[in-house]
Amino acid sequence: MSLLSVRDLTVKFAMRDQTVTALNGISFDLAKGERLGIVGESGAGKSITGFSLMNLLSRPGYIDSGQIEFEGEDVVKMSDKRLRNLRGNRMAMIFQDPMVTLNPVLTIGQQMVETLLAHRKLSREEARQIAIVKLREVYIPSPEERLEQYPHELSGGMRQRIIIAIALLLDPQLIIADEPTTALDVTIQADIMELMLELCQSNQVGLILITHDLGVVSQMTERTLVMYAGRIIEAGRTREIINDPQHPYTQGLINALPQQTVPGQRLKQIPGNMPGLASIPQGCAFNPRCKYATDLCRSRVPDIVQYGEVAVACHEVQRLHSDEDLKEIRA
């Protein structure tokens, strides 16, 4: 049985004058201990997916319909009390920017101990000991001293390690990491990713890694979802998606990677920008930027269907495969 099973998840935002759809019928599964990457440009709905999984959307966003089954229980229908029991305990989250994630007026120790006490009947001292053990696991030197410090006394990399330690405090089944390294120095990014991979593997923790970095996804995850304008447009094993992308958008993303470019040549960017949520074009949302777009693409939203090793939402995927242009691009 899968750990997490999301079915037809639709999230809307009630703005002043209109309601916009931020997530449109998202479905995917995650097995126990599996690591899944969600990629896409900013605004594609990656982070909203992450927050929805914990039912943590704040106004004006709300889950309109769909199910999020986690360990056999629907997160969407959970009472506030059940939700509190879920959050931080069975499902933990790592936020994007460690500089603003920790509360500036509480010590590291207070913020770790309160998390343990919220979910377990422990004495303060027992909780402190667990916190120290977890800080050691994320290679934080002299953890006893860190507990007494305030966030501003620590570096960004150190803070993100602490946030990872907090995520692991209660041995959750699933960790959702929302762009965990984008706010950090490039030199530290790899360390943090390596640490997360190591800890997820050794503790058999499921991971949903939200990122725009396909390189990171290929190192960290077993399966990948590609999102565009609130929909999943391609899903499958990470290796297949990286090596043999089917959707023109995914192809564009991979072609835009610096590794794919001969030095001295311009990066091959996808022309145009992703549409805003309020102005998603008719039909396939990608059609204005897609050079294969047909009238069908401009009028009907493609369903996501299995095509070879991956699932893809594109009307033209078959034609694409026999297309000469494409072979040229991939060469």
Minimal distance, residue 19 CB to another protein, in Å: 18
Residue length of the chain: 331
Cα 61 to Cα 14, 43, 51, 73, 95, distances in angstroms: 6, 14, 10, 22, 18
Cα 181 to Cα 63, 139, 193, 223, 293, distances in angstroms: 27, 17, 8, 20, 35
Among 1, 105, 262, 331, binds another protein (CB under 8 A): 105
Count of C-beta atoms within a 10 Å radius of residue 104 = 9
Q: Does 58 bind another protein (CB under 8 A)?
A: yes
Q: Does 330 bind another protein (CB under 8 A)?
A: no
Q: Does 101 bind another protein (CB under 8 A)?
A: yes
Q: Identify which of residues 105 and 186 has a Cβ nearer to another protein in the complex.
A: 105
Build a one-symbol-per-residue string for 66-95: x at contacts with another protein by CB under 8 A, - elsewhere: -----------------xxxxxxx--xx-x
Build a one-symbol-per-residue string for 128-167: x at contacts with another protein by CB under 8 A, - elsewhere: ----------------------x-x-------------x-
Q: Identify which of residues 196 and 284 has a Cβ nearer to another protein in the complex.
A: 196
Among 6, 30, 44, 54, binds another protein (CB under 8 A): 54
Q: Identify which of residues 166 and 184 has a Cβ nearer to another protein in the complex.
A: 166
SS3 306: strand
SS3 202: helix
| Distance in angstroms between the alpha carbons of the first and the last residue of the chain | 40
Q: Identify which of residues 103 and 273 has a Cβ nearer to another protein in the complex.
A: 103
**Cα 145 from chain centroid (whole Å):** 32
Q: Does 268 bind another protein (CB under 8 A)?
A: no
Cα 189 to Cα 10, 180, 194, distances in angstroms: 32, 9, 9
Among 114, 191, 240, 244, binds another protein (CB under 8 A): 114
CB burial string 110-133: b at 16+ within 10 A, e below: ebbbebbeebeeeeeeebbebbbe
Q: Identify which of residues 38 and 169 has a Cβ nearer to another protein in the complex.
A: 169
Q: Identify which of residues 92 and 284 has a Cβ nearer to another protein in the complex.
A: 92
Phi/psi of residue 159, nearest 5 degrees: -65, -40
Q: Identify which of residues 81 and 266 has a Cβ nearer to another protein in the complex.
A: 81
Residues 190-229 that bind another protein (CB under 8 A): none
Q: Which two tokens stand for residue 6?
A: 């999301």
Question: Tokens 């006490």, residue?
Answer: 117
Q: Does 46 bind another protein (CB under 8 A)?
A: no
Q: Which residues in this chain contact another protein in the complex, by CB under 8 A?
A: 54, 56, 58, 83-89, 92-93, 95, 97, 100-107, 114-115, 118-119, 150, 152, 166
